[in-house]
Structure formats: C-alpha cells, structure tokens
Amino acid sequence: MPVPHFVRAASSLDPIAHLYSQHNGWLLRWLRGKLACADHAADLAQDTFLRLLTVPADPASLREPRAYLTTVAGRLVIDHYRRQSLMQAWHDTLAQLPEQFAPSPEDRLELLQTLERIDRMLDGLGARVRAAFLMAQLDGLTYADIGDRLGTSERTIKRYMVQAFERCILCIV
Amino acid sequence: MTSILSPAVDPRAAREAAQWITRLQSAPPDAIDHTAWQTWRAADPAHELAWQRAELVMHTLGMVPPAIGTPVLGRPQQGRRASTRVLAALILAGPAALAGYATARAAPWQDWFADVRTTTGEIRKLVLDDGTRLALNTDTAVAIRFDSGTRLLRLHHGEIHVATATDTRTPARPFVVQTASGRLRALGTEFSVRANHGVLAPAARVAVAAGAVEIRPAQAPHLVRVIAAGWQAGFTEHAIEPATALGAAGARLHAWVNGVLLADETPLAHLVAELARYRTGVLRCDPALVNLRVTGAFQLRDTDNILELLQRSLPVKVTRRTRFWTTLEPR
C-alpha cells in the first residue's frame, strides 16, 4: 500500500517532529535520572528539541539521533546546575551584603542577567584561570599580586588572562 | 555560542585581541606601542570585530559591582576538577569587594589619550589656558581639548572640580565636560563631576556650587536638564536622577579640593569607602562596624595617619595582613 502523500511530506519537512515522537520517551526517562525534579526533566527535554529548531544541526549528527540528543541534553543539564548554583550564590551574597552596598530592587534583575551572561561566558575555564581572571577584572588586582596569591609567576597569570579573554571574546553574546 | 545577530569572531583574531588586551592591561602605559595596536586593528575587519567583542567583554564585566560579582562568579564550580584551594582563596578575597570602591576599575586603554592624570592618592590643581581652574581628585584621567568652537574636557574616570572662567575669546566658547554617561555644559559656574562604574552602567554625579550645569545623557540627549547651584544629580547614559539639595553635604563634597576629607556623623563604611579611593590595595571595614559614626576633618595627604586616628578614637583596630590588604576590625 503506498504511503499517503501527506505523511511523507510531514516527515520530510519536519524531521524534528519525527525525532520528537521517536525519542521523547527515553530522553525524558534519561533526564529524570539526572535531575531530582520531574518538571525540570520535562522542561529540559523540551529545550533539547527546541535547540534543534534554533541551532541548525549537522545532518551527520542526526544520523545518530540518540547520541546527538544525549549530548545536547547533557549540556543543558550541566547548564541547569550551573544556573542553580549561580542563583544560590546570588541569594547568599545579597543576604550578607551590608544595606548600603545592595543594589536597588529595580537594578537586581538586570544585574542578575549580566552575571548570568558572564557566568556562561566563563563556563569551562579552568578554576585557576577563572579565579585569576576575576581577581584582575573585578577586584582590580595587578597581575603580579594575583601571581603572589595563586603562588605562580606573573607570566603564567598573563597566559591565563589571554586564555580567558580569548574565550570571552569568542563566547560573548 | 553565536547567533544571527552577532557574527562569529575569527578564532585567530580572537586570540590576537586577547593578547592585545592583556598587554594593554599589564604593561606600563609608556611601554605600549599604540601605533602597532592601531595598525593591527585596522589591518583586517576581523580584527576590528574581535576588538569590539573584547570591549563588550570589558563593558559587561564593568557593569558588575565587585561586592556582588566576586562571590557570585567566584563560587566553587561544581562537577569539575576544580582546585578548591584556589577558589577558597578567591572567596576570601570576595569581601574585597566591599572595597569595591577601593580598587581601581579603570578601562586602561582609555587613559593614554588623557592629557592629565593623577595616581591613586594624588590630588592635582591646574589653571587651564582660558583661566578655568581645574582640580583632579585621586585616580583621575582627563583629556583637555580646546579648539575654536568648544572648550572640551573629557573625564575618562575619576573626579574633577571645575571653576570656569569667562572665555578669553569672542564669541565665548561653551565649556563642556564629556563623560561616558553624558555631556555637561557649564553655565558660568563652579561644579564637580565624579564618574564611576555604576551598578549597571557608567554613571556620573554632578554637584553644582555656583551657576548652573546642563546635563545631557549620552543615549537620551532629549532628557536635557539644568541643575542649579546648591543641587546635585546622578545620571547614566539613559537617565537623570531627580536632583537633591546639597545642603551641608556641599562643603563635604568639595572639601577634597583642599586635600581634606570631611565627615559629619558619617557611617564608618562610607568613610572607609571614601578613604579607599586614595589608597592602593584593599581597605575594608568589618561588617560589624559599618554603622559606627565618625565626625572630623582628615588630611588626605596621609591616609595611614587617618587610620591611626580612627583606631585611637573608635573601638576599632587596624589590621594589615599584607601591604595591600588592610582591615578595620572591632577591638
């Protein structure tokens, strides 16, 4: 029996919908194993497929959809935990900040978004590189001072800075 | 991650831009080859794009107050082979943070165009070509550009006090102070301007002692407003705060011109933040002390001596952990 025309059209025009129906089930189960909250798992499964819509995938990767989807979803899980720890640190910091240093309520949202941007940009840098970068760019310490604190040479700190700036320049959005 | 709106940066150009920015930050200004840097920028549109991204990175980082950015962004990273020792060190450094005001946050590549600058702790007074008196507070950089149409003072960072003179030329040229957040036009006047990195954007504050000053935010020039003598107002590139009366604070705000820091029932935290501007390194105040009140007139020439005075007159002790790390703690 010939395949009805509209079915073939739908599956070729909309490979994402096809992927979704084939793979949403196991992806959701896989995500539930990684996250405590079932709602978050469902959100991240959605986000995984959304990512396929917004970032054009390499056709080769779609030949191995399971591997590809786990990679994308895995990245989203890491991102989820990263954001969660950012929020935690944000709340802790605001709670401890003397009143006169606290940002006004209307500034908070924008500041949090800026922090989130920077956090994403720095994600994946080594701990020492990140620490050195923040000491220089936020606290205004000199490279020599940072070298002293991290027990390394100014030359190494310079190398760290180049590495961090390079990443930021490539990643900033 | 790139999107349609932001074209991808060439990896090699990104690497080179990163090397330039690092060099510009770390080398002494006179050791930097500006021509080579400008030549690199102009050599390829890919270089310029990478450089613009670098500036965007610096701008984004500059929007974060250290008191918040350091603990939030420097939190221990999960799930990575993080060197916890290093991060612990950073968290300890976090409160430095409270010294946010204490550390210089200049975008160093702006400084070279400045004609006059002061180092941390230095106060400098000069008389300009037209007779205008200009004072530069600690860690300040200005470029003075007088031409046939305008008397322009560009405040890159820091704080200045200006007492304008009637122009020697006819027709008289307007006297303008340009900051990152907007343009100020002096209307026969004496005033001070302080540019700082606000919580979210470059911000500045103008306090008018005589005459009046017109503010025009950089991104919202239609919001023009005139601030009269005895008033002050903060502004960003997008908005102007409602002006507030200076009252007794007027004398305090301008006292630095004479090398004096005036306190009148001032919370210790404010005084320390103010003092920190005149010192290199970190000066912080234990959170338990921030609400102690201080009254007095202090000579800014010797901030160590001020700390000594505070130690003698208040229940605080000054602890110096290193040359760059000073803390006021409860005694």
- Look at the alpha carbons of B67, A87, B85, A78 in this order and tell me if their dihedral is positive or negative: negative
* pLDDT for the residue A5: 41
Report if residue B166 sits inside a domain.
yes
Residues A19-37 have a mean pLDDT of 83
Mark out the alpha helices in A55-126 (DSSP H runs): 59-62, 65-96, 105-122
B1, pLDDT greater than 60:
no
The pLDDT tens digits of the residues spanning B92-102 come to 333 332 222 22
Of the residues B77, B102, B127, the one at which a domain ends? B102
* pLDDT for the residue A107: 83
CA–CA separation, A143 vs A132, rounded Å? 8
Q: Average pLDDT of chain B? A: 78
* pLDDT for the residue B65: 84
B177 with B203, same domain: the answer is yes
CB proximity B123 to A under 8 Å: no
Report if residue B308 sits inside a domain.
yes
Class of domain A103-173: mainly alpha
CA–CA separation, A108 vs A153, rounded Å? 37
A14, pLDDT greater than 70:
no
Chain A residues with CB-CB distance to B68 below 8 A = 90, 93-94, 97, 101, 103, 111, 115
Q: Which of B90, B91, B321 to mutate to test the interface with A (most CBs of A within 10 A)?
A: B90
Indicate whether this model's pTM tops 0.80: no
B82 pLDDT tier (thresholds 50, 70, 90): very low
CB proximity B65 to A under 8 Å: yes
B178 with B274, same domain: the answer is no
Domain segments of chain A as ranges: 1-102, 103-173
CB proximity B78 to A under 8 Å: yes
CA distance A98 to chain B (A): 7
B135 with B73, same domain: the answer is no
Share of residues in chain A with pLDDT > 70 (%) = 84
ipTM, interface predicted TM-score of the complex: 0.79
B161, pLDDT greater than 70:
yes
B117 with B241, same domain: the answer is yes
B300 with B261, same domain: the answer is yes
Q: Are B1 and A168 in contact (CB under 8 A)?
A: no
- Look at the alpha carbons of A59, A60, A65, A71 in this order and tell me if their dihedral is positive or negative: negative
What is chain B's length?
331
Option in A115, A143, A158 nearest B72 (CB): A115
- Count of domains observed in chain B: 3
CA distance A77 to chain B (A): 12
CA distance B254 to chain A (A): 22
Q: Are B268 and B314 in contact (CB under 8 A)?
A: yes
- Tokens 């200004």 sit at which residue? B29
Chain B residues with CB-CB distance to A161 below 8 A = 18, 21-22, 25-26
CA–CA separation, A122 vs A168, rounded Å? 7
* pLDDT for the residue B201: 59
The pLDDT tens digits of the residues spanning A96-139 come to 777 767 888 878 888 999 999 999 999 889 888 999 999 888 88
B117 with B240, same domain: the answer is yes
Option in A100, A118, A135 nearest B90 (CB): A135
Of the residues B71, B102, B133, the one at which a domain ends? B102
CA distance A170 to chain B (A): 6
CATH number at residue B168: 2.60.120.1440
B237 with B304, same domain: the answer is no
The range of the structural domain enclosing residue B38 comes to 11-102
B315 with B197, same domain: the answer is no
B161 with B237, same domain: the answer is yes
Please judge whether A100 and B267 are an interchain contact, meaning their C-beta atoms are less than 8 angstroms apart: yes
B231 with B265, same domain: the answer is no
Q: Nearest chain B Cα to A155, which residue? A: B26
B98 with B114, same domain: the answer is no
CB proximity B60 to A under 8 Å: yes
B121 with B20, same domain: the answer is no
